Amino acid sequence: MNYYEILNISQYASTDEVNRAFRSLAKKYHPDFNKNYDAKDKFMSVYRAYSVLKRPEKRKSYDESINIKPQPKDYSHEEEKESFEFSGNTEGNICSNGYFAFKDGWLYYNNFSGFWSSGELCKMRLDGTGRQTLFNGKCLNLNVIGDWIYYYSYDDKGHLYKIRTDGTGRQKLNDDSNYFVHAAENWIYYINCNEKKNNIYRIRTDGTERQKLNDDECRHLNLSGGWIYYENLKDGYSFYKMRTDGTERQKIINDQCYGGVNVTGGWIYYVSGNSGSRLCKVKTDGTGFRKICDSEVNRINVVGGWIYYVDDIFHSRIFRIRTDGTEKQKLCDDNAFEVHVAGDWIYYMNYSDNQALYKMRTDGTQRQRFI
């Protein structure tokens, strides 16, 4: 694994993100606290990665040695000044139904081929070793914080659950029909589909303090910079935002937002209904609208200055393009669905192979069926 994979961060992670990742992993693997036989080796790997990535000049040389290009000028982590320190998954992965989540070198995923099959909640190391089945059932919108996995159960009417990362301690947290579940710090945010009202709620990670945050009919919930971003179906699928406590609700743009919405670096990336399902972006204050590419796009995932997407309303090929609209590249010809990104890898369902789970590098190389 390269240094970014060791710290489980993006290649374009900010200095604060590098520091947070190191603190978390150093505490986990330090030999004074972890008596496992391999803890010291893991701690030293984490320290070596951090010693390079924390220093701008060393990091620049390292990036050049593994062929990482500079991030686009319009992409900046520093614009997000109020980001969550602990988030259970990325906006892009949640918008792809959260089949995959990643933490501390482990991949957590739901292993099932289609909604009519049985499922398994599993985990394995990012190198493919150590595979374990944690629970038998369809678990979606996976979020991992600390030693807990949060998800909604497709088998149990979308109710919210949590289970420890070792498969023990499974608990039901609510009786709502949950969708777009996103855990951040001590709260879980979700769209409640009970009675088809689709309002946004939040609940503590221990299942207490359930709160209704708005009365809008919502879709595509995102968390970024202390704000909740969402589509308001009552207002023609227009895009809104509000604070995480439900205050300061405001309309951003009058457009129909399809195919997953990502908010990062001060920009909203989305598939525009008004522009014929084209990939577009607008600043979080509603200014600076621009179309990024002319293809019909679905299922976007924005990571480290790149937008990964499927190029058709139906399952189709995976592409990537820079957030400034340059360097469009086709990555594979698979009939792909639900594109997830972690580190240097893309994970997806391949409908060309009976919905099997595949992975490939973010540059399209090393494509493989991984289970």
End-to-end CA distance of the chain: 19
Q: How many Cβ atoms from other residues are within 10 Å of residue 24's Cβ? A: 18
CATH number of 76-212: 2.120.10.30
The C-alpha atoms of residue 287 and residue 279 are separated, in whole angstroms, by 16
Write out the two tokens for 124.
């394995």
pLDDT in tens, 285-338: 999 999 998 888 888 899 888 999 998 756 689 999 999 999 999 999 999 888
The C-alpha atoms of residue 235 and residue 255 are separated, in whole angstroms, by 9
Q: Which pTM does this prediction carry?
A: 0.78
Alpha carbon 334 to chain centroid distance? 21
Nearest to 154 by CA among 144, 164, 140, 142: 140
Instruction: Report which of residues 96 and 84 the model is more confident about.
Output: 96
> Which of helix, strand or coil describes residue 196?
helix
Give the residue-averaged pLDDT of 51-63. Answer: 89
Q: Is 3-68 assigned to CATH 1.10.3720.10?
A: no
Question: Which residue's entry shows tokens 């709260």?
Answer: 187
User: Using an 8 Å Cβ cutoff, are 133 and 123 in contact?
Assistant: no
> Which of helix, strand or coil describes residue 161?
strand
Domain with CATH 2.120.10.30 in the chain: 76-212
pLDDT of residue 82 exceeding 50, the answer is: no
Amino acid of residue 147? D
Domain with CATH 1.10.287.110 in the chain: 3-68
Q: Is the dihedral of CA 19, 265, 198, 243 positive or negative?
A: positive
The C-alpha atoms of residue 308 and residue 299 are separated, in whole angstroms, by 8
pLDDT at position 185:
82
The C-alpha atoms of residue 56 and residue 164 are separated, in whole angstroms, by 37
pLDDT of residue 178 exceeding 60, the answer is: yes
